[in-house]
């Protein structure tokens, strides 16, 4: 049975439909990259070509904040247009693969498919922020978002395995944009009026309306840099897990070990959203990132398989909660009218970091002494991220110290600033 907080959340009339739409709209994200690698290799007999085409998709996804900025300004109609453009580009990739076309047009249309992949997760977090006033229910909703993505990462590879065994990889590639459009339409029909609602008409200054958009806020810029470091850590851990499995158990066990990350993420993500949180977000964020760094050091130091599995479960759980807290922070500090774009920057830069982390850890594994070297590189990235979070805490404490005291007789008005102190209640 779901905890009371989740029952309260799903008792709201639109939540179940939006959650179902969000799952459908993101399911393809769990298998697109792997399907592209396998299909392009089948058609070209070249892993180099497969890697380039898949990288083009990732680069397109990395530019998604530009689409999110339009969604913040003009609302749901832009989200529908983005989903339609994604479907057209995806079906073009399908047709090119079916006809055995050259790699160059594949690269272009795959990049377009990534660019126009609807930012469903950021959109849903924006909707929760607009529709849920209770901070505890907001925490539950954002935590459930994290759990949904963990489920997507579990189901996606399983669908690829079934499609590969049955010769249905092309059909799975065609199914992806269909699911994405269906999920997007469900979200827009039920809650699309909350996208940009009340903010699209504001002035450019309220939107942070210069070319920086959401990045006009200094703390958003810092969180984006921290997200890159977090992605570097995750990408490094994934490659190092594969290297560990290959050396100790055989390559077939890499997927099993990776699944333990999702197991920890689902469990801890649900637990985090089910209970009240008493520490301030910035302090919590810093401590979680330090814990991730320490767990990654443990992965580098251990060779015993049961210990490795336990640490991976803990790492996955800690990582999932860290992403929830990061999204809560973005929700608090983003400028008015830039919330969807801010969420998308964080998600996109995390993915960019993952791409860089896989590269760095791969080099470390190959030339630096195996999986332990890869885990070491990932731990360094985690500690860099913790340093960025520590700077967030320092900024908040400095703001508290610099705030003028209220004038006598001013009615005791107080401003609640996230100073990182344990004694403060969550905002």
> Per-residue pLDDT tens for 59-84?
888 777 888 888 888 888 888 999 99
207 or 281, which is more confident? 281
Per-residue pLDDT, 279: 62
Q: What is the mean pLDDT of residues 283-308?
A: 94
Structure token pair of residue 67: 């689409």
Per-residue pLDDT, 298: 96
Count Cβ atoms within 10 A of the Cβ of residue 335 and give its class: 0-12 exposed, 13-18 middle, 19 or more buried: buried
User: What gap in Å lies between CA 131 and CA 179, rounded to an integer?
Assistant: 25
- Most trustworthy range by pLDDT among 45-49, 92-96, 269-273: 92-96
Per-residue pLDDT, 299: 95
Per-residue pLDDT, 196: 65
Per-residue pLDDT, 233: 95
Q: What is the residue whose two structure tokens read 């320490």?
A: 294
Q: What is the mean pLDDT of residues 381-394?
A: 94
User: What gap in Å lies between CA 288 and CA 353, rounded to an integer?
Assistant: 18
Nearest 5°: CA angle at 178, between 175 and 184?
140
- Categorize the per-residue pLDDT at 14 as very low, low, confident or very high, splitting at 50, 70 and 90: confident
Structure token pair of residue 71: 């969604």
* 8 A C-beta contact, residue 208 and residue 214: yes
pLDDT at 202 over 50: no
Q: What are the φ and ψ backbone dihedral angles of 334, each rounded to 5 degrees?
A: -65, 145
User: What gap in Å lies between CA 160 and CA 136, rounded to an integer?
Assistant: 37
Of the given ranges (30-34, 324-328, 344-348, 403-407), which has the lowest mean pLDDT? Answer: 403-407
Q: What is the mean pLDDT of the chain?
A: 83
Q: What is the mean pLDDT of residues 126-144?
A: 85
* 8 A C-beta contact, residue 317 and residue 268: yes
User: What gap in Å lies between CA 384 and CA 357, rounded to an integer?
Assistant: 13
- Categorize the per-residue pLDDT at 12 as very low, low, confident or very high, splitting at 50, 70 and 90: confident
Per-residue pLDDT, 407: 52
Per-residue pLDDT, 242: 81
Percent of the chain with pLDDT over 90: 32
- Categorize the per-residue pLDDT at 412 as very low, low, confident or very high, splitting at 50, 70 and 90: very low
Count Cβ atoms within 10 A of the Cβ of residue 290 and give its class: 0-12 exposed, 13-18 middle, 19 or more buried: middle
Per-residue pLDDT, 134: 85
Give every CB contact of residue 248 below 8 A, 6+ residues apart in sequence: 303, 305
pLDDT tens-place string over residues 327-375: 889 988 888 888 888 888 888 888 888 878 888 888 888 787 788 999 9
pLDDT tens-place string over residues 203-225: 444 444 467 788 888 999 999 99
Q: What is the mean pLDDT of residues 49-57?
A: 82
- Categorize the per-residue pLDDT at 2 as very low, low, confident or very high, splitting at 50, 70 and 90: low
pLDDT at 326 over 70: yes
pLDDT at 411 over 70: no
Structure token pair of residue 300: 């580098």
44-52, long-range: CB < 8 A, 24+ apart: 44/103, 49/103, 52/103, 52/107
178 or 393, which is more confident? 178
Q: What is the mean pLDDT of residues 107-130?
A: 89
- Categorize the per-residue pLDDT at 262 as very low, low, confident or very high, splitting at 50, 70 and 90: confident
């Amino acid at each position: 049975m779901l905890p009371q907080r989740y029952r309260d959340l799903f008792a709201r009339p639109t939540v179940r439909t939006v959650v179902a739409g969000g799952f459908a709209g993101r399911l393809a994200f769990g298998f697109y990259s792997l399907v592209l690698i396998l299909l392009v290799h089948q058609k070209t007999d070249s892993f180099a070509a497969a890697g380039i085409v898949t990288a083009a998709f990732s680069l397109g996804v990395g530019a998604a904040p530009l689409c999110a900025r339009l969604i913040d300004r003009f609302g749901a109609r832009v989200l529908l247009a983005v989903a339609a453009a994604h479907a057209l580009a995806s079906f073009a990739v399908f047709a090119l693969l079916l006809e055995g076309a050259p790699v160059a047009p594949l690269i272009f249309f795959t990049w377009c498919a990534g660019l126009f992949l609807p930012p469903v997760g950021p959109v849903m977090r924006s909707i929760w922020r607009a529709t849920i006033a209770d901070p505890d229910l907001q925490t539950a909703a954002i935590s459930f978002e994290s759990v949904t993505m963990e489920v997507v990462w579990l189901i996606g590879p399983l669908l690829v395995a079934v499609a590969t065994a049955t010769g249905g990889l092309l059909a799975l590639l065609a199914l992806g944009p269909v699911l994405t459009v269906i999920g997007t339409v469900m979200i827009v029909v039920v809650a699309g009026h909350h996208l940009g609602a009340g903010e699209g008409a504001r002035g450019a200054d309220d939107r942070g309306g210069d070319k920086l958009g959401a990045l006009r806020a200094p703390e958003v810029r810092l969180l984006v840099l921290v997200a890159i470091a977090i992605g570097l850590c995750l990408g490094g851990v994934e490659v190092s897990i594969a290297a560990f499995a290959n050396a100790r158990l055989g390559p077939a066990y890499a997927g099993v070990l990776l699944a333990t990350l999702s197991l920890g993420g689902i469990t801890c993500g649900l637990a985090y959203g089910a209970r009240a949180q008493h520490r301030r977000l910035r302090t919590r964020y810093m401590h979680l990132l330090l814990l991730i760094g320490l767990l990654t050091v443990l992965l580098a130091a251990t060779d015993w398989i049961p210990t490795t599995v336990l640490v991976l479960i803990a790492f996955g759980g800690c990582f999932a909660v860290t992403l929830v807290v990061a999204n809560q922070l973005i929700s608090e500090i983003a400028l008015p009218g830039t919330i969807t774009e801010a969420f998308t920057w964080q998600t996109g830069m995390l993915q960019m970091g993952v791409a860089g982390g896989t590269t760095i850890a791969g080099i470390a594994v190959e030339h630096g002494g195996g999986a332990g070297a890869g885990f070491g590189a990932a731990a360094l990235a985690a500690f860099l991220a913790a340093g960025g979070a520590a700077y967030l805490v320092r900024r908040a404490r400095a703001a508290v110290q610099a705030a003028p005291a209220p004038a006598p007789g001013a009615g005791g008005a107080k401003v609640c600033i996230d100073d990182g102190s344990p004694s403060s209640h969550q905002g």
